Amino acid sequence: METFTPRPTMKEVARMAGVSLATVSRVINGTADVRPDLAERVQEAVKLLGYRRDLTASTLRRADRQSASIGLIIEDVSNPFFSAVHRGVEDVARPRGVLTFVGSSDERPERERELAEAFSARGVDGLVIVPCARDQSYLLRDRQAGTGIVFVDRPPRFMAGDAVLSDNAGGSRAAVEHLIAHGHRRIAFLGDRLSVFTATERLRGYHEALRGERIPELERTELADSAAGEHAVRELLALPDPPTALFTGQNLITIGAIRALRALGRQRTVALVGFDDVVLGDLVQPGVTVVAQDPYALGRRAGELLFARDPEPRSVVLPTRLILRGSGEIPAV
């Protein structure tokens, strides 16, 4: 049975090392030179006692309020796209000794705000946010208080700020032009909720590609998960004049579309291009042609902007890349 031992204090370290409290503080915080033999005694005592520097306490005392932590708000920690963004942010923060709070907004504005408040209340030095609320001006107060803020995947609204985005419209245009080049004249767009910035941008790219080609628009939006995507594809293919090609505007919708096409036995006759790569996209038959973004790079660039702390808001747009694997090269019948 172990006895209760409270956290060792700096005082105990000082007593064991036989030095003053100020000396211990200097050694631990590295603020001033200490005689090597004294420093060694302090280090020894720290080790024996298992003393741990309390970063929250020093946060409060320091003028610069650096808590060495940041907060990351993404749509869903378990969506592979956002996991990769997370990893990118972490890889920039970690070498700086900064830890990352992470939370899922689940595309709910009030949840985004709650998380931002919760992270700020814990003294984070910065926030990286995939915004879903209609208005980010609630963050102005945090910025005035010195919190760095960077938006990723989507730009902020009602607030100027650094943002790192993919070229959503350009990537979508390229995808739809690719389908047109393979003879398709009936191309459906399947997209996420239009409250999501990336969904409207991708829809815009689809419209731009159709413009001038006299190709009718055929849209299904507000598809929030793979089941919704699967259902929408079944409906579209049951139309009297069904599409010969599909452009799916998000990874989960692409997964739903692949499942629907396979279930209907149409995967070799209906063309498909998806926005965002998907795991095993190279192994399904035919392989899935995608417009790939680089979510890891989005996260990294966001982290870099956060730590650079440039006073001028900057917008970084990363290119997308079309990966041909077969499904997007099926010709129109």
Partner 1 sequence: MKDVASMAGVSLSTVSRVVNGSPPVDPELAAKVERAIELLGYRHNHTAGTLRRASGLSSTIGLIFDDVGNPFFAAIHRGVEEVARERSVVTFAGSSDADPERERELVEGVLGRRVDGLILVPTAHDHSYLKRDVAAGIGLVFVDRPPETIDADHVLTDNRGGARAAVEHLRAHGHERIAFVGPAPNGLYTAAERLAGYLDAVAEPLVVHDDVEPLLTGPDRPTALFTAQNLVTIEVLRTLHRLGLQDTVAHVGFDDIVLAGSIEPALTVVAQDALGLGRAAAELLFSRLDGFNGRARQVVLPTRVIERGSGELQASS
Q: Which CB sits closer to partner 1, 11 or 122? A: 122
> Is 108 a binder of partner 1 (CB under 8 A)?
no
Burial of 198 (0-12, 13-18, 19+ CB in 10 A): buried
The phi and psi torsions of 63 (rounded to 5 degrees) equal -70, -35
> Is 160 a binder of partner 1 (CB under 8 A)?
no
Q: Which CB sits closer to partner 1, 14 or 278? A: 278
Given candidates 29, 31, 285, 315, which one binds partner 1 under the rule CB under 8 A? 285
Side-by-side strand order, sheet with 245-248: 219-220, 187-190, 245-248, 271-275, 289-292, 321-323
Q: Which CB sits closer to partner 1, 103 or 170? A: 103
Q: Which CB sits closer to partner 1, 130 or 210? A: 130
Binding to partner 1 (CB under 8 A) within 119-138 occurs at 119-123
Given candidates 40, 44, 110, 117, which one binds partner 1 under the rule CB under 8 A? 117
- Write out the DSSP string of 77-120: TTSHHHHHHHHHHHHHHGGGT-EEEEEE-TT-HHHHHHHHHHHH
The length of the chain, given as a count of residues: 333
> Is 97 a binder of partner 1 (CB under 8 A)?
yes
> Is 275 a binder of partner 1 (CB under 8 A)?
no
Given candidates 22, 77, 194, 308, which one binds partner 1 under the rule CB under 8 A? 77
> Is 94 a binder of partner 1 (CB under 8 A)?
yes
Residues 233-272: x/- map of binding to partner 1 (CB under 8 A)?
Answer: ----------------------x--xx--x----------
Report the distance separating Cα 287 and Cα 323, nearest Å.
10
Distance of CA 188 to CAs 270, 271, 320, Å? 11, 10, 21
Shortest separation between residue 114's beta carbon and partner 1, angstroms: 8
> Is 28 a binder of partner 1 (CB under 8 A)?
no
Which range touches partner 1 (CB under 8 A), out of 111-119, 156-164, 213-221, 308-316?
111-119
Q: Are the beta carbons of 200 and 170 closer than 8 angstroms? A: no
> Is 229 a binder of partner 1 (CB under 8 A)?
no
106: left (phi over 0), alpha (psi -120 to 50) or beta: left
Residue corresponding to tokens 């879903």: 132
Binding to partner 1 (CB under 8 A) within 48-67 occurs at 50, 52-57, 59-60, 67
> Is 152 a binder of partner 1 (CB under 8 A)?
no
Binding to partner 1 (CB under 8 A) within 191-220 occurs at none
Report the distance separating Cα 9 and Cα 53, nearest Å.
9
Report the distance separating Cα 189 and Cα 185, nearest Å.
13
Among residues 260, 215, 168, 203, the alpha carbon closest in space to that of 272 is found at 260
Q: Which CB sits closer to partner 1, 137 or 195? A: 137
Which range touches partner 1 (CB under 8 A), out of 26-34, 115-123, 183-191, 193-201?
115-123
Dig out the tokens for 286 from the structure: 């035919």
Residue corresponding to tokens 């005694």: 41
Given candidates 15, 38, 66, 118, which one binds partner 1 under the rule CB under 8 A? 118
Pairing, β 219-220 against β 321-323: unpaired
Residues that bind partner 1 (CB under 8 A): 2-8, 50, 52-57, 59-60, 67-69, 71, 76-80, 83-84, 86-87, 90, 94, 97, 99-104, 115, 117-123, 141, 255, 258-259, 262, 278-285, 296
